[in-house]
Amino acid sequence: MFELFPDLTPIRHGWLPVGDGHSLHWEISGNLKGKPVVWLHGGPGSSASPMHRRFFDPERFLIIQYDQRGCGNSRSVHPLEQNQTADLVEDLERLRQFFGLNTWSVVGGSWGGALALAYAQKYAFAVEHFLLRSPFLCSPAEIDRFMNHPPAACLTHWQALKSHLPLNSSESLLAFGHRVFCEQNNLVSQSALALSWAQYESAMNDYPAPAQALQLLSGVSQIPRYQIQCHYLMNHCFVTPDALLAPDNLNRMDITLIHGEDDALCPVTNSEAILAVAPGARLVRLPGCGHALGTQPMQKALLGAIASW
């Protein structure tokens, strides 16, 4: 029960128009009559992954995945316009209604955990089970830690990223990234910056394990990801930790939290903060684990939590 399920081909996929020039790409897998569950991808700026659906027994679950505004295979006339957390919350609710579901279970990791919390603050009545893996709380301290204070093992990748700033620049790394990705249209500089950004983010994700070498020769494919990421981080993800942690709705929910104790991207204190306002939640702490979804302890914890539903 603690191994990922085999590769799974989606049964159907399509695009859901949500207004403002945005259409969300969605795909469903598993059992059409099964227990509905939606997976919220991370980032901001990432996308749905075939690996994510392998945490669910395809005979028991109707597995719903989608790409958020401006991400992955979703379509946008202007990706950064009308693209804030409140928009993504309403998109998620439109998706539930589109599939005709009274309730569903929600799984969110990292930024997807923050989005799940924002959704729960408005639509807790629609959530049967709530599973957060290494949730992000969008605090200024978290963003500053990621952009400016990496652990020593990730310092080389951070310095390579920071080397893109003009000599003697007083601009912050995040402000520079936002200017390059969101305010300019120079493919060469965007591609180079995206490649370094991806390598740094991957090292932070892998920590405390050694960073894996990325199989990327160019950063062109990563430009849309970091446009969205800089757009969100520059604006503190358009939400506050206090708004995400309002206790009334969270206390009505069945919540499981899974968090690596050595997470360099989203500190375990985030899950502790959720537990403090929702003491009925269950927190699974993983000693020696970081942020990466691919580690065996993280996968076992997620598989075990989902199997208990």
Active centre residues (catalytic): 110, 263, 291
Which letter does DSSP use for residue 133 in this model? E
Cα–Cα distance, 221 to 1 (Å, whole number): 35
CB 135, CB 270: distance < 8 Å = yes
Length of the chain: 309
Q: Of 159, 188, 161, 158, nearest to 177 (Cα)?
A: 161
**CA torsion, points 58, 64, 68, 70, in degrees to nearest 10?**
80
Instruction: State the first-to-last Cα distance of the chain, in angstroms, to the nearest integer.
Output: 13
SS3 214: coil
Q: Cα separation of 298 and 285, whole Å?
A: 10
Dihedral sign (CA 174, 176, 181, 187): negative
Report d(CA 25, CA 95) in Å as an integer. Answer: 10
- Largest Cα separation within the chain, whole Å, is 60
**H helices, E strands: number in the chain:** 11, 9
Residue 96 near residue 250, CB atoms below 8 Å: no
